[in-house]
Homo-oligomer: A and B are copies of this chain.
Amino acid sequence: MTYERKFEALAVPTRRAVFERLIAGPSSVGALAEGLPVSRPAVSQHLKVLKDAGLVVERREGVRRIYRLDTDGIREMRNYFDRFWDDALEAYQRSLEASDA
């Protein structure tokens, strides 16, 4: 559930495509696979990685499994970025001032 896992999960183009299709709303595995140029097992494997990274959650509905975004995981990642960028930019400002002196 670390931010590293989320980074690595979203770095792969196909996996990012799966994730971004879920932005439009929850979907079954088969429906996701139809809109992508890879096989259903490939989509299933990507969903597992996304789930383990805390980016999506799964719900059973009969024989289907409906995947949707994990809003907590996403918010967590976003919060991390906010802090990260703030720190980075602040440190850079400090270094600029130091070299000006």
Contact = CB atoms under 8 A, between A and B. Distances in A.
Contact of A24 (B10, B25, B82, B91): B91
Contacts of A89: 69, 71, 74-75
Interface of A: 4, 7-8, 10-11, 13, 16, 23-26, 68-69, 71, 74-75, 77-78, 81-82, 85, 87-89, 91-92, 94-95, 98
19 contacts: A4-B13, A7-B7, A7-B10, A7-B11, A10-B11, A23-B87, A23-B88, A25-B91, A25-B92, A25-B95, A26-B95, A69-B88, A69-B89, A71-B88, A74-B85, A74-B89, A75-B89, A78-B81, A78-B85
